[in-house]
Amino acid sequence: MSDEEEQNHRKELLRLKAEQGITDNEFYHYDTPLTVEHEMQCIKAGGFSSVEILNRWGPTHTINVK
């Protein structure tokens, strides 16, 4: 996934929330795909000390988290 695709998903989430009148104070789940780099940053920000890519098949990655 590219940064552009990630941004497009984020814009779609914001569009859907506006269209349906959903505020930030309400629970709403929309699975926003991230680039593998951003996914790894989020995992590290969540407190994990080690995140490594084990394998890659096109846009699919397997990662090891410790």
**Cα end-to-end distance, the chain, whole Å:** 24
The pLDDT of residue 7 is 93
The pLDDT of residue 31 is 85
Tell me the C-alpha distance between 61 and 46, whole Å: 19
* 12-50 pLDDT, tens digit each: 999 999 999 999 888 878 888 889 999 999 999 999 999
> Do 45 and 28 share a domain, yes or no?
no
Tell me the C-alpha distance between 49 and 42, whole Å: 12
> Do 19 and 45 share a domain, yes or no?
no
> Do 9 and 23 share a domain, yes or no?
yes
> Do 29 and 39 share a domain, yes or no?
no
The pLDDT of residue 32 is 81
> Do 39 and 66 share a domain, yes or no?
yes
Domain of residue 10: give its range: 1-33
Number of domains in the chain: 2
